[in-house]
A and B are shown apart, each in its own frame.
Chain A
Amino acid sequence: MSWTMIAVLAVGAYAWKALGLVVLGGRTLGPRAAALATLLPAALFSALIVVMTVADDDALVLDARVVGVAAGAVAAWRRAPFVVVVLVAMAATAAARALA
């Protein structure tokens, strides 16, 4: 990987972030846009959870991650502390992999 490529990646990745925070985030949002922005985390993080749980590049895969995330979700639902949610998910995934 060349230095040129690393520079292009760094500038490109930063440009996305700055476009979001400085340009889009610099405007005063109207009530409708503000309400939409408030709902964005729910939509985006839900999609991120799905991608991290069942995607392998552009393939849908059901593997031990599903078991772990389900166990973590139950722990979160039962109001377990954050670190417990993470550890439960890891332990369940590791156990499912060890058994498979």
Chain B
Amino acid sequence: MTGSARAGGYRRNAFVLSLAVGVVGVTFGVFAAEAGLSLAKAMAMSLFVFTGASQFASVSVIDGGGNPVSAVGSALLLAARNTLYGPVVAPTLRVRGWRRFPAAQFVIDETTAMATAEDDPDTGRRSFWFTAGWLFVLWNAGTAVGVVAGNAVGDPAAWGLDAAFPAAFVALILPHLRRRAGRTAAALGGLIALVAIPLVPAGVPILLAAFAVLPALRVAEPLPAAGEGEP
């Protein structure tokens, strides 16, 4: 069973996820405006940095009186995990030539999770681009609304928005847990993050969790022969 068959269609899922991201975009716009960013600067962040956690982190360091170097440093540490998503989605996306350069801008948590929750590579590719499109539009629209209209969404924590994302990723990780190696990678990755959170700067726990794949590979079922392909 594919992720979308269980979860009701990747188009709808992409929209739901992007809608939640759009609401967070409003809170980013409000936060950026409070920290003194103009509409142009806030929009430049959402259009070109396009990495939510990094945007919040850098604005928060500056707003707290921190220096620009540490603001950029902590933001880029949070963004580093996107590098690990590249080799994961590349076989699914199969973009060639110059198109790889614009495509790279959209390789983030949500698009990678939506693409890899699908068993069929063609569905995975469509799911990636559907998510990328909605997410980009709604994240930027949300940012603009937040800067211009102010806090139109109240306190998102009061209606539990911060739990929407981890829960969404729980739904998206389930297809990876069908095999023993995937379950091992997930268990060890989560454990590594849990131990690392108090010890290393934000962003690094997720990078360290990548090492979970090494022991997980040892419990993997034998690979299918070349050309046989995954079912």
Contact = CB atoms under 8 A, between A and B. Distances in A.
Interface of A: 1-3, 5-6, 8-10, 12-14, 16-27, 29, 31-55, 57-60, 64-65, 67-69, 71-73, 75-77, 79, 81-83, 85-86, 88-95, 97-98
Interface of B: 6-8, 12-13, 16-17, 20, 35-37, 41, 44-45, 48-51, 54-55, 58-59, 62, 68, 71-72, 75-76, 79-91, 93, 95, 100-101, 103-105, 107-109, 112-113, 116, 157-174, 176-177, 181-183, 185-190, 192-194, 197-202, 205-206, 208-214, 216-217, 220, 223, 226
Given A29-B87, A50-B193, A50-B197, 7 more contacts: A17-B105, A21-B104, A35-B217, A35-B223, A45-B186, A46-B185, A47-B212
Contacts of B169: 45, 48-49, 52
Contact of B12 (A57, A69, A79, A83): A83
Contact of B45 (A9, A27, A58): A9
Nearest first, the 8 closest Cβ-Cβ pairs linking A and B are A20-B86, A25-B90, A72-B167, A68-B163, A89-B167, A93-B160, A43-B189, A47-B209
Prevailing SS type, chain A contact patch: helix
A19 B83 contact: yes
Nearest to B3: A82
B127 to A, nearest CB: 12
Contact of A16 (B76, B103, B161, B173): B76
A99 to B, nearest CB: 12
Contacts of B89: 21, 25
A46 B193 contact: yes
Given A51-B206, A58-B197, A43 B213 contact: yes
Contacts of A92: 160, 163
